[in-house]
Amino acid sequence: MSTAPAAVSVAIGQWAVAASPSKIRTLLGSCVGVILYDRAGRVGGLAHVVLPNSRGAVDHPGKYADTAIPGLIADLGALRGKSAGRLVAKLTGGASMFTLGAASASPSSAIMNIGRTNQEAVEQILSALHIPVIARDLGGATGRHVTLDTATGLVLVRSPGAVEKEL
């Protein structure tokens, strides 16, 4: 009799790492899901990034792109050990969950488009760390259910009213 893989749910502003055979999942709206995977070690992690920059805040490191990504990498490093392979990234989420009446350049428009701001921050950080982004499912106007299978590196994304797809 085989047992089902462990399932780890990632709450908003948190991250989690796991080794094969595990599944890591979350639900995203304007937040960006940063999925890092090491095929050689069959380990992966998912960060549920809420905002692009911590501005020095240290109380909730999983909430911000600039603190969550390094934290996720550190935890993956501890899990990967000496058999570490190269990390690759997949990104999802970053939806525009709120609409503005007319096009606006006001400060509130940046807040209303936090999904895009999160996407840009995550992409910049991963580029600076030389972690290639091999797949993206970003933007749009709806949330997503996301699941990483650490045994395969497969990421499944399901949006309301849409067919589940592989990322």
For residue 107, give both structure tokens: 């400060």
Q: What is the mean pLDDT of each run of 10 residues along the chain (167 residues)?
A: 78 97 96 96 96 93 98 93 82 82 48 86 97 96 96 96 92
How far, in Å, CA of 142 to CA of 97, rounded? Answer: 6
How far, in Å, CA of 17 to CA of 59, rounded? Answer: 20
pLDDT of residue 6: 84
pLDDT of residue 84: 66
pLDDT of residue 162: 87
pLDDT of residue 97: 76
The percent of the chain in helix, strand and coil, each rounded to the nearest 5, is 25, 35, 40
For residue 30, give both structure tokens: 């304007």
- Asked whether the beta carbons of 40 and 46 are under 8 A apart, the reply is no
- Asked whether the beta carbons of 138 and 119 are under 8 A apart, the reply is yes
Residues paired with residue 15 on neighbouring β-strands, in sequence order:
47
Catalytic residues: 31
Which pTM was predicted? 0.89
